[in-house]
Structure 1
Amino acid sequence: MENKNIKNPTKIWELDNEAFLQWFVGFTDSEGTFIIQTKNNSEVNFCFKFTLHVDDSAVLFLIKDILGIGVVSIKGNTCTFAVHSFQLIVEELVPIFDKYPLITHKQLDYRDWRIAVLLKNSAKNASNKKISITAETFRKIVKIKESINSNRTKFDGYKLSDSMISKYWLLGFVEGDGSFHFTNNRAIFSINLKDRQVLDAISIYLKNIPRAPIINGLYVSPLPNSIIGGKNNNTAYLLTISDTDVLFQFIFPFFNNLTFLSRKGVDFKIWSVGLFLIINGYSKIPKGKAILLKLSNNMNSKRYFSNIIEFIDIEEINALFEIEPPFNIFSKKSHFTLAKEYAIKQGSRKGYTLHIYTDGDPCKEIAGSPFNS
């Protein structure tokens, strides 16, 4: 496919067309919807759309500008990017998703949606380009409409392998379903998804991402090991990476070398500051704990302008990092060992507390947790 209608992204993003389209498909796997609308037992319309919080509208305008198609509309607290033009769907969107396959079960919705699009497109009159759908074609499209998205019960033909994942697809997907956050003074990276197979594939992919260059004396962490647990009565699964050394040496440099297009990039920047604060042990002192709480209060749903509790003070953060770090990360010791040794020096008998969570959920501890053992 020639992307002749895709404009060059702004210098801020510095993405080529190939990278953007992989990102776009990853973002679609997370946030996109393929819609079929029927009317009067004869009229069929198609729509592709994203719907986000209004504070995230910038990414939808960016998608519109780069693709050169679609309409962005704002209503209340939501913002929507939509492509309704049947001609643009046939000539622009279908070729993109044919060349860059979706990876989640959404690929099945696209497959069936595409069949319905082609059914309508085949009804074009070659001489005047008008579309006249027969009753039989209408019935076929209605049948497809009733079996996609939330109505889907059949998953035949689903294809997935970890080789299908690219770094740009993963970035787009994480900008939709990923989370950078803090729990109990620990940095967490997680992805929430109904498709367990996709999380398994992502877990394999993450084990093969490059490590940051090791500085002399820095502890060499193990490869990323994702924990995948059930959540919400197993209607969704949560992939979690919480090992501080792994986050510092693998996850941070991987995403730091990519360019976020949505406001999830703000979360990542804030999370990165917190990660550096934690790896150096500043989260063990009162000033560090206070700043980590402020960082947490400006992330994810709390970063929306209507929800921000207190703004981050950059000078306060700089002043913290001017203090000698509690941990010597160049002692060839793991973060866990440094934290334990620090706790012992502070008078703890056992040296650390034990947090136990249910089903791998880093936000839900069992009764009595944490334990001083």
Structure 2
Amino acid sequence: RNIIFPIFNTYPLLTKKYYNFEVFQKCLFISENNELTKEEKFVMISDLIEKSKFRSNLSPIWLNSKENVISKPWLIGFIEAEGSFYITKKEKNRFVHGFGITQKRDSHVLENIRKILHISTKVKYNKYQFYSLDTTNSRAIENIIQYFTGSHNTNTKFKSIKGLEFRIWARSYIKHKGNFIKLEIIQKRMHFLKKKIKVE
């Protein structure tokens, strides 16, 4: 409580989780209130949870800020959890690089990411009831690589295995774009890497 609450109060969440955290915080305060009976606590907490179901998906941070609230560190962390750098077979003898990211509710977050990374593809709502931003456009891929590596292709700041995934992906685009044989081999390596991570 003394560690987590100050962090999220100083750096508010940008997705619907803003309201989840708000409800969680209020529920904790209610549960710790010794002046309330168990029955009163139950009623108050139940009421909070029920009302939260009808809250907007839009974090108030978006309404109160005139500038884009997504920072580069935030975007890196978000992609660590939700994003995918991949290579896919487009045609019989053609492999292309792709980038994808999905969200259950916060389409506005994907729309802002789309603008930051200069991706022309529109955010879509798919049959699985998820919003997705996905592109294999060469210009967009180059914009993404540039954004995360800088003009000198320096190391990205991804902290997890996503950093390795990104480096393999970006390097293969720069060195082997259009090379069917090389990209097929690298695609298999990336698939193996992802499967290994899931097993571990």
User: Do Structure 1 and Structure 2 share a fold, with TM-score over 0.5?
Assistant: yes
C-alpha separation in 2, matches of 1:300 and 1:159: 39
The answer on 1:163 being equivalent to 2:68 is yes
C-alpha separation in 2, matches of 1:193 and 1:226: 16
Q: Show the counterpart of 2:194.
A: 303
Q: Show the counterpart of 1:200.
A: 111
1:200-247 per-residue CA deviation (whole Å, 9 max, x = no partner) reads 12222334xxxxxxxxxxxxxxxx4243222125x1111123222342
Q: Is the 8 A contact 1:178 1:189 kept in 2?
A: yes
Structure 1's 168 and 306: CA in aligned 2 closer, same or farther, altered over 3 A? closer
Structure 1's 147 and 177: CA in aligned 2 closer, same or farther, altered over 3 A? farther
C-alpha separation in 1, matches of 2:74 and 2:7: 13
Q: Is the 8 A contact 1:297 1:303 kept in 2?
A: no
Residue in structure 2 matching 1:238, options 129, 132, 136: 132
The answer on 1:188 being equivalent to 2:188 is no
Q: Which sections of structure 1, spanning at least 5 residues, go unmatched?
A: 1-89, 125-131, 208-223, 284-288, 309-373
Residue aligned with 2:196, SS: coil
1:273-327 per-residue CA deviation (whole Å, 9 max, x = no partner) reads 2211444x3x2xxxxx23312222233685232789xxxxxxxxxxxxxxxxxxx
User: How many positions carry a matched residue from both structures?
Assistant: 184
| Further displaced range: 235-244 or 294-303 | 294-303
Structure 1's 306 and 112: CA in aligned 2 closer, same or farther, altered over 3 A? closer
Structure 1's 123 and 278: CA in aligned 2 closer, same or farther, altered over 3 A? farther
- Percent identity between the aligned chains? 26
Q: Show the counterpart of 1:103.
A: 14
CA positional deviation for 1:156: 7.4
Q: Show the counterpart of 1:74.
A: none
Residue aligned with 1:227, SS: coil
Q: Highest relative contact order (Cα 8 Å, sep 6+), 1 or 2? A: 2
Structure 1's 306 and 97: CA in aligned 2 closer, same or farther, altered over 3 A? closer
Q: Show the counterpart of 1:259.
A: 157
Structure 1's 102 and 271: CA in aligned 2 closer, same or farther, altered over 3 A? same
Q: Show the counterpart of 2:2.
A: 91
Q: Show the counterpart of 2:46.
A: 142
Residue type at the aligned position of 2:69: M
Structure 1's 157 and 265: CA in aligned 2 closer, same or farther, altered over 3 A? closer
Structure 1's 174 and 198: CA in aligned 2 closer, same or farther, altered over 3 A? same
Q: Is the 8 A contact 1:228 1:237 kept in 2?
A: yes
Residue type at the aligned position of 2:162: K
Residue type at the aligned position of 2:56: F
Larger Rg: 1
Q: Show the counterpart of 1:58.
A: none
C-alpha separation in 2, matches of 1:201 and 1:170: 10
Residue aligned with 1:95, SS: helix
Structure 1's 110 and 273: CA in aligned 2 closer, same or farther, altered over 3 A? same
Residue type at the aligned position of 2:144: I
Q: Show the counterpart of 1:154.
A: 55
Residue type at the aligned position of 2:60: K
Residue type at the aligned position of 1:267: E
Residue aligned with 2:3, SS: helix
Residue type at the aligned position of 2:182: I
The two structures, once aligned, show a CA RMSD in angstroms of: 2.8
Structure 1's 156 and 193: CA in aligned 2 closer, same or farther, altered over 3 A? closer
C-alpha separation in 2, matches of 1:167 and 1:110: 23
Residue type at the aligned position of 1:295: I
CA positional deviation for 1:98: 0.6
CA positional deviation for 1:170: 0.4
Structure 1's 111 and 157: CA in aligned 2 closer, same or farther, altered over 3 A? farther
Q: Which has the higher helix share?
A: 2
Residue aligned with 1:293, SS: helix
